[in-house]
Amino acid sequence: MFDERSFITAKQQQWKDLDAIVDRVKFFGLRRLPTGDLTRIGSLYRRTCADLAYARAQRATPGLVDSLNQLVGNAHGLLYAEDREQHGLHRLVRFITQGFPAVMRRRMPFVAAAFLLSVAGYLIGYYLCRSNPGNISLFIPDAFRDSVDAWKKGFADHGDISLGNGVLFSSSLMTHNTEVGIAAFATGITILAPIYLMLSNGWLMGALVAVVAPGGKLGSFWPGILPHGVCELSAIFICAAAGLLLGWSLIAPGEYTRRDALVRNGKDAVKLMLGTIPLFIVAGIIEGNVSHSSLPHWAKYTLAGIQFAALAFYIYGKPIKRRMKQAV
């Protein structure tokens, strides 16, 4: 025989726990729940659904059935409303405005590692080629030799080469950098490959600077690189960070098995990779229309500075504003 009083006594704490979590979801959202609540809400919801079905089957008092029905309905609505928000256009907007910056902040040490590897490569290429110009063959592929001559002549200001050659060079360099970024991500599980790719990308730039500097054309070199380089190089560093993250999962899985660490970190790695797509697009547009144009150098430097500031604010602006509000 169904004992409603005993049933309520045995289940009441479970229902209170679910109701409390539902209230927290209403105020903070499902994504901001503490880890303990996230692991419990699913099981509490399923058990309460079972309790509702049992109470109906046992013809419990209408007050109990209505109360359980309301609790289950509230929990269902919140859970599935959050789920619907993760689909379609809303999901894309949320990833761009919140998801990608959050992953960037969380994985910034890997981005910094990719950047430092490129700096190390740059220094190697620069000093070896500056001390002995013959070493340029070690760092710059034959396919880029004509481009090196163009930079020596002030390529970025269109002083000595045609616009057609400039566009051709822009396309080849953008294709090269995009391939480097994709390769750094795709081969990340080896961890050695992204390290080499960042070093090689750095020493290509260092060698190029070393051979351009003696001719006094660095004044046109940097204005021809930085306007699109802020976005393009940032995208490459982020791609490499995604690759390094995959490789690091196998070296230092932490409290997880290597397989679980790879799956867990792989999600962030994919997000990092996807987030670079707009950066490569913006870099391509600027490279084809601004970097090698006849605009004054100060305008090109200003554009580069604006991009850098915008990226920094995009990644860290929201947490800073949140901390300011809390301080007030």
**DSSP of 40-78, one letter per residue?**
HHHHHHHHHHHHHHHHHHTT--HHHHHHHHHHHHHHHHH
pLDDT at 185: 81
pLDDT at 238: 94
pLDDT at 170: 55
Q: How far apart are CA 60 and CA 12, in angstroms?
A: 15
Contacts of 295 (CB under 8 A, 6+ apart): none
The amino acid present at 46, given as its one-letter code, is: R
Q: How far apart are CA 3 and CA 117, in angstroms?
A: 70
pLDDT at 159: 46
pLDDT at 85: 47
Rg for the chain (alpha carbons), in Å?
A: 28
pLDDT at 327: 47
pLDDT at 319: 59
| Other beta carbons less than 10 A from residue 253's beta carbon | 16
Q: How far is CA 2 from CA 14, 64, 66, 227, in A?
A: 19, 13, 18, 75
Contact (Cβ atoms closer than 8 angstroms) between residue 239 and residue 272? yes
Mind listing the pLDDT tens digit of every residue in the chain (328 residues)? Answer: 678 888 888 888 888 888 888 877 766 666 666 767 767 777 888 888 888 888 888 888 888 888 888 888 888 776 665 444 445 567 778 888 888 998 999 899 999 999 999 999 999 999 998 888 888 878 877 766 667 777 766 666 654 445 555 555 556 656 666 777 788 888 888 888 889 889 988 988 888 888 888 777 777 788 888 898 899 999 999 999 999 999 888 888 877 788 888 888 888 898 998 898 889 888 888 877 787 777 888 999 999 999 999 999 999 886 555 554 444 4
- Which one, of 21, 24, 69, lies nearest residue 43 by Cα? 21
Helix (H, G, I), strand (E, B) or coil at 255: coil
pLDDT at 167: 55
